[in-house]
A and B are shown apart, each in its own frame.
Chain A
Amino acid sequence: MKSSFKSVSIAVLILWISASFGIITEALRLSQEPSVTILAPSSSIVLLDLKAREIETINRLWLNGYLGLYFNFHLVGYWSWLALPLLLVFFAGLKKKKKWEIALACVYLLSVVLIAIKGYFNSRYALTLVPFNLTFILAFGRDIFAVFDRILRVGAYGFIVLLIIFNIHQYNPTMFQIISPSKDDNLPWGLLNNINNMNLGRDAAFLECNAPAFYYYTNKKGLSYSKRFGLKKPGILTEKGIDNIFQEKAGVKKLNPEKVARAFDIMKSRYNVKYIFVRSLPDYFVELSEIIRYGCDLLSTEKSYSLFKLKDHFIHPLLEVKKKLPIYQSDFSKWRGPATILSGDLAKTLPPLVVLGIRGEFSLTVSPNSDDRVIRLTPVQKDKNGNVLIFFGCFTNHNGFDLKIPTGKYIVFRAILNLSNPKKTLAQILVEDEIEDWEGEASDINKPGWNQYVVTKRVRDNAKNIAIGISWQPEKETDSLEIKKLEIFII
């Protein structure tokens, strides 16, 4: 009888250890390798947030999120999952358990469910149950191991000790780096001191976004640009709630420049905002990004914090173009050549346009109607690698485009285009400048039919060259790109 009990114990222990290695390695593999299903579109800011939390795929959502208390090995260690088989053993012997033990188990399970549902996105909430988990594993485990003979008991405890040593070995270097007293912090002490030393009027305010360090470390008045109160309404937090100064819904990708200009005026007149203090401004704050881009001067940057000063006036290029004449406006009536040409002849046929980059061959055809001419671009031939791509436009001091580099100013490039296959082809209008390397802004050509596309770029100081044009990579031979109008402004 005793020997059969011992055999069963050995079998259980071997099964437990084998299963545990299988579970650990499989869970490690699943949690480390991204699975097929991505939970958010790759271009969205939500995905970046999910990736930072390591829950961006279905596998990781379950292992690191809902069941993070047991399988988020990086954070809870390699022993926490031991609670699961022990819980099964506990519930198998429920009839013999005391009321307080069952009550604790109930509270524990309800808490696990609560944290899984409401707190899966934040691993700190799983931490709530970690001390209880470990206490349960050791206390209840001891009661179970007590029926084993000595060697098995040593084996069982030894296994737990091994997991803990593995924990320490995995995280030991990080822990000692963290507790080193020479570790630099992430606060912008210089910026904060400058803010404290500023001599401002009593009502002068700093607009703060994503930077509560402002309130704790400075003595100045702040206004919070809403972040924590949902992205439903972007605006300034007041006593009465969010003042939606942009009158826009959150998540808007393309802003009305007039609304942004009006919001800028409200900031200055109603709230007396003089400066903007931000930390790593998230991309989804497009409205505030526009204010900073076109209405502020950067004063200082330190450790991911930035301080901007509001300009006297908000200058958005798309508003200014209404008041200005273009420095270049396409005039296809000056087409010099046959109705259809190859891309190599573009420079002499329609100056100052030139081909700035090409793979394969394209043809350009001008419409016969002399009053409202349209250029039609079509691919003719792929290159030897099977690629076909064209980038054409204007380049400073080439082919009659004599432009003095307008450093510090904005170039606005506006085009009226019709792309035949916007979903399958890659097409953009671009403005780029060159110092050591090229840097540019682009706007995707992504709608069917005739549409106006605009791109603006501030020319960097010390820029040597500027390229303004259209880039297009068609998918098939029947694709086409039609151009009605091209305009370039300097603001």
Chain B
Amino acid sequence: MTESLFFLYKFLFTNIIFAFILCSCLRRLNKDQEHSTVELFLVSLGLAPALVTLLLYFAFLCCPPLPSVGYFLIITVVYVSLFWLGRKEFPVIYGDFKYWLIRKWHKLKKHENNGSPAPGIWTRRAKEITRWFYVSLVLLVLIYLALSFRSVLHMPVDGYDTLSYAAEGKALFKIKHIEFRSMLLDPETGIYLPSLHAPSFSLILTWEKILNSLFGLKSDLFFRSIAFYFGLLILAGQYYCLRIKGKWLALLGTIGLLSCFSFFCALIYIHIDTYRIFFIAVVWFYLAGALKKRDRLSYLLLGITSGMAAFAHTLGALMAAITILVFFVFLKGSLLYKLKIASLVFFLTLATGGIHYVIDTLWGSGWIFNFHL
């Protein structure tokens, strides 16, 4: 019971509250109203834990080793600052969600005609049945996901790759320092770097251990739940994208993706896959958005999510590089304008995670000459 309650606290704190704070900041930058609150909140749900790992990374890189409470305070201060920046948007976000929920509830309770003439009794009945069939399918999917999550709760950290990432997270918690010189992270325990990927995924466990240490508890449930959490975000994001074309299409997409065995395994088994796939998917979403809308927030999010994708995995770094290149080619405007915007996106990518590979190439393992996926 204690572990579950503590997990709830870590989850709400890192994934939900931080996401609200991020969403409020992003909304403040959304002056043109090009981005909906739902979209910004979905992205923030993914960015929140990843930003925590990025902050930890820079703290380990730049500061001498501190006690765990020190890193907790650093991250809290950053988020409190972000909260202060976005504080005026909280009531707006709250209002948006409340309105959305009320609208959904009314739609569920009675059919809306949208001003058209009242349909005949058979058409009304058919639409009623269709609506409840849709709701039943959605409930089935949610029950299936709930059952799947139940298995995640009982599954320990296992599998060669995941254990290697977890060991890295454990070592980073112990040494509180990012190592580039040697593959051996911690000579005292013998823990080594499992790969040349950036340590974002491992830092999630490090963050959990920091929170654990404040309360004298031991648990890795938050780390174990991350794959499932990001899998849900991928499903939600896909639903959101397809919902524009139609709710039935969106539901078909969700069921289709869940029916894919490898995606299902990525959802259930603790691994890095859903974590890195989410950011790559969001990068492409904002590539399209940046080229279509050409607003500041899209450029900013393209840069940040590219950085997070790179920070998650080498494949993300390569895809971020491809995306920025394509963005530069297809961006409308003069050459100077394109260079300016693309450079901004590039530097944002570096600042939000890509810098790891630059440092590693120049002063570490020589990443670009040695990497493999």
List A residues at the B interface (Cβ < 8 Å). Answer: 74-77, 79-80, 98-104, 106-108, 110-111, 114-115, 118-119, 122-128, 130-132, 134-135, 138-139, 142, 157, 160-161, 164, 167-168, 171, 174-175, 178-181, 183, 185-187, 205, 208, 210, 212-213, 215-216, 220-224, 228-229, 237-241
Contacting residues, chain B, for A178 (C-beta < 8 A): 151, 264-265, 268
Q: A128-B276, A213-B163 are in contact. List 12 more A-B contacts (CB 8 A).
A: A99-B330, A101-B288, A103-B291, A106-B326, A107-B319, A123-B262, A134-B253, A138-B242, A167-B256, A179-B151, A220-B189, A222-B190
Query: B194 and A100: CB pair below 8 A?
Result: no
Total A-B residue contacts, Cβ distance less than 8 Å: 204
Which residues of B, 164-188, contact A by the 8 Å Cβ criterion? 164, 166-167, 170-171, 182-184, 187-188
Asked if B156 and A221 make an inter-chain contact with CB atoms under 8 angstroms apart, the answer reads no
Residues of A within 8 A of B241 (CB): 135, 139
B89 at the binding interface (Cβ < 8 Å): no
Q: Contact partner of B322 among A114, A168, A186, A228, CB < 8 A? A: A114
Which residues of B sit under 8 angstroms from A74, Cβ to Cβ?
261
Stretch at the interface among B3-11, B57-65, B70-78, B279-287: B279-287
B259: A residues at CB distance < 8 A = 77, 164, 167-168, 171
Q: How far is the CB of A242 from chain B (nearest CB, A)?
A: 9
- Is the beta-carbon distance between B277 and A208 smaller than 8 angstroms? no
B187: chain A residues at CB < 8 Å are 238-239
A101→B284 CA distance, assembly (Å): 11
Q: Which of A101, A104, A164, A205 contacts B255 (CB 8 A)?
A: A164
B169 to chain A, nearest CB (A): 9
Closest to A99 in B: B330
Q: A216-B170, A238-B184 are in contact. Are A130 and B262 (CB under 8 A)?
A: yes
- A104 touches which one: B166, B192, B265, B287 (CB < 8 A)? B287
Whether A185 pairs with B261 at a CB distance below 8 angstroms is no
Known pairs A134-B253, A210-B160, A212-B160; A124 contacts B266 (CB<8 A): yes
19 chain-A/chain-B pairs, Cβ below 8 angstroms:
A77-B261, A100-B291, A102-B330, A103-B326, A114-B315, A119-B373, A135-B253, A138-B253, A157-B252, A164-B252, A168-B259, A179-B147, A179-B150, A181-B150, A212-B160, A215-B171, A215-B189, A237-B183, A240-B182
Complex partner residue of B166 from A123, A128, A157, A216, CB under 8 angstroms = A216
Render B189-208 as a binary contact track against A, CB cut-off 8 A, 1 for contact.
Answer: 11110110000000000000
Q: Is B332 an interface residue (CB 8 A)?
A: yes
Chain A residues closer than 8 Å to B191, beta-carbon distance: 215, 222
Contacts A99-B291, A239-B184 given; indicate if A160 touches B252 (C-beta within 8 A): yes
* B292 within 8 Å of A (CB atoms): yes
Q: Is the CB of A122 within 8 A of B373?
A: yes
Please state if A131 and B190 are interface contacts (CB–CB under 8 Å). Answer: no
- Known: A119-B315, A119-B373, A128-B277. Is A104-B288 also a contact (CB below 8 A)? yes
Encode contact with A along B308-320: 1 for CB under 8 Å, 0 otherwise: 0000000100110
A76/B188 in contact, CB under 8 A: no
Docked CA distance A35–B342 (Å): 48
Q: How far is the CB of B68 from chain A (nearest CB, A)?
A: 18
| Any A CB within 8 A of the CB of B368 | no
Residues of A within 8 A of B190 (CB): 205, 208, 215, 221-224, 237
Distance A361 CA – B257 CA, assembled complex (angstroms):
67
B167 engages A100 (CB within 8 Å): no
Q: How far apart are the CA atoms of A212 and B169 in the complex, in Å?
A: 12
Distance between Cα atoms of A29 and B301 in the complex (Å)? 45
A75 touches B148 (CB 8 A): no
B246 within 8 A of A: yes
B361 interface residue (CB < 8 Å to A): no
Are B322 and A134 in contact, with the CB atoms below 8 A? no
* Measured CA separation A186–B156 after assembly (Å): 9
Residues of A with C-beta under 8 A to B261: 74-77, 167, 171, 174-175
* Chain B residues positioned under 8 Å from A228 (CB to CB): 194-195
Does B256 contact A103, Cβ atoms closer than 8 Å? Answer: no
Of all chain B residues, which has the CB nearest A128? B277
A-B pairs, top 8 by smallest CB distance, nearest first, are A222-B190, A215-B167, A167-B259, A100-B291, A75-B262, A212-B163, A103-B330, A179-B151
Q: Do A127 and B264 form a contact, CB below 8 Å, given A99-B291, A215-B167, A237-B183? A: no
Q: Contacts A213-B163, A239-B182; is A118 near B151 (CB within 8 Å)?
A: no
Instruction: Please measure, in the bound complex, the distance between the C-alpha atom of A222 and the C-alpha atom of B148, giving whole angstroms.
Output: 35
B39 contacts partner chain A, Cβ-Cβ < 8 Å: no
Nearest A residue to B159, CB-CB: A186
Question: Within the assembled complex, what's the spacing in Å between the Cα atoms of A239 and B185?
Answer: 8
Cα–Cα distance between A75 and B182 once the two chains are bound (Å): 36
The interface residues of chain A lying within 8 Å CB-to-CB of B182 are 239-241
- Tell me which residues from 115 to 164 in chain B have a Cβ below 8 Å from any Cβ of chain A: 147-148, 150-151, 153-158, 160, 163-164
* A107 contacts B323, C-beta separation under 8 Å: yes
Contact between B163 and A100 (Cβ–Cβ < 8 Å)?
Answer: no
